[in-house]
Amino acid sequence: MDVTTVVIGAGHAGLAASSFLRERSIDHVVLERGEVANSWRRERWDSLRLLTPNWQSRLPGHHYDGPDPDGYMTMGEVVDFVERFAVATAAPVRTSTTVTSVSYTGDRYHVVTSDGAFRARTVVIASGACNRPVVPAFSEAVPAGVEQFTPFDYRGPEKLPDGGVLVVGASATGVQLAAELQRSGRQVTLSVGEHTRLPRTYRGRDILWWMDASGVWDQRYDEIDDLTRARRLPSPQLAGTPERTTLDLNALTGLGVQLVGRWAAIRDGRALFSGGLRNVFALADLKQQRLLDTFDALGLVDDNPPERFAPTTVPAASRLQLDLRSGEIRSIVWATGFRPDYHWLDVPVLDPKGRLDHDGGVLASPGLYALGLPVLRRRKSTFIHGISDDARDIVEHLAGHLAGR
């Protein structure tokens, strides 16, 4: 089948691209391996809520209009939100259609799927940045008696065996799972490396309101000094809860979570952790304070003066090793990040680590584009509310390519 554009992925990024393609009368098809908003349906744990407040949930011509603008959507609500957008824009989605190969013949892309093949002048890859959990190679040395999980496997505390849990990674996923498991009655040990500390609210407003108001999230990729680092920064320690509470390491310590350093290796069944937690904490505290100073410099006058937060408390004695054969730890949850999966992409546009090598979502192969990756064109690129600007830019470039510009 011939079509001008193939969009791969029917999440919020692919559907945003579809809406702008439709606006420009560019014929296209959106291919989805599962259902619309598939990753929100299948690859999230049960209690997860969006990190962004409801008022910030918006797609092209579509926004949250419910009764709780300051709340945070559940996964079911996110799925409904994205589904309604797909219906409203009449997106030409083909569900249960897995892409198995994309190749370039010199003037067309050949897209092979589980339901036939397509020839297209342009392709937009919107398959997401979190297709596979990242787990360190030394996980293979974990003793057989300790069960291992990733955020894709985890649904809730009841699915884990009784006993202690080691959560590895202290970004948004790690701190949320550590808190949930500790509250369930298990003793949680959290392995902490580099992280981004943020309060849930600042001076009476959601911290993400400040990110918007300050222009931080609108910063373009070509204005960032160290773009590679910006694209790999850990997600902030935030949770979307009705109480709008801060979930940082101090909060976890208050719940009884035990903190250890970054997991460095396994030797003879023992997990070995790095020292230097004091330095790791100090760096995260410093970065938080610099960001809050940026917000204060906006000069907004209200009844809420600038706030200062207590530094992260360093444990009196942090363990440097843990015997995984002792029975103290019965399960491990790897909250160590995610990576995209492009095993089906037969076009030479990947860097040595398997990531797309792109310039603001424009790839070196003519007519090939990407959406939905970290800091693709702006700092807000991976968030639902951040996709509209990126998708508009990409489709504008795509239309210029089709016109021979």
Residue 301 above 80 pLDDT?
Answer: no
Compute the CA torsion angle 141, 145, 150, 153 (nearest 10 deg): 140
Residue 303 above 90 pLDDT?
Answer: no
Q: If phi over 0 gives left and psi between -120 and 50 gives alpha, with beta otherwise, what is residue 163?
A: left
For the chain, the average pLDDT equals 96
More confident residue, 163 or 303: 163
Q: In the beta sheet, which residues pair with residue 117?
A: 112
Place of tokens 């969006």: 50
State the pLDDT at residue 101. Answer: 98
Which 3 state secondary structure label does DSSP give 77? helix
Comparing CA positions, the residue from 50, 44, 41, 36 lying closest to residue 76 is 41
CATH of domain 135-334: 3.50.50.60
> Do the first three CATH levels of 2-131+340-402 and 135-334 match, i.e. the same topology?
yes
- Contact (CB, 8 A) for 260 and 318: yes
Q: Give, as one character, the DSSP assignment of residue 140.
A: G
State the pLDDT at residue 200. Answer: 98
Compute the average pLDDT of residues 207-221.
95
CATH of domain 2-131+340-402: 3.50.50.60
State the pLDDT at residue 309. Answer: 96
Per residue in 4-44, pLDDT (tens digit) is: 999 999 999 999 999 999 999 999 999 999 999 999 998 89
For the chain, give the longest Cα–Cα distance: 66
Enumerate the domain spans of the chain. Answer: 2-131+340-402, 135-334
Compute the CA torsion angle 354, 178, 151, 193 (nearest 10 deg): 10
d(CA 104, CA 120): 9
In this prediction, residue 119 has a pLDDT band, given cuts at 50, 70 and 90, of very high
- Contact (CB, 8 A) for 11 and 31: no
In this prediction, residue 405 has a pLDDT band, given cuts at 50, 70 and 90, of confident
Per residue in 242-275, pLDDT (tens digit) is: 999 999 999 999 999 999 999 999 999 999 999 9
In this prediction, residue 302 has a pLDDT band, given cuts at 50, 70 and 90, of confident
Per residue in 313-372, pLDDT (tens digit) is: 999 989 999 999 999 999 999 999 999 999 999 999 999 989 999 999 999 999 999 999
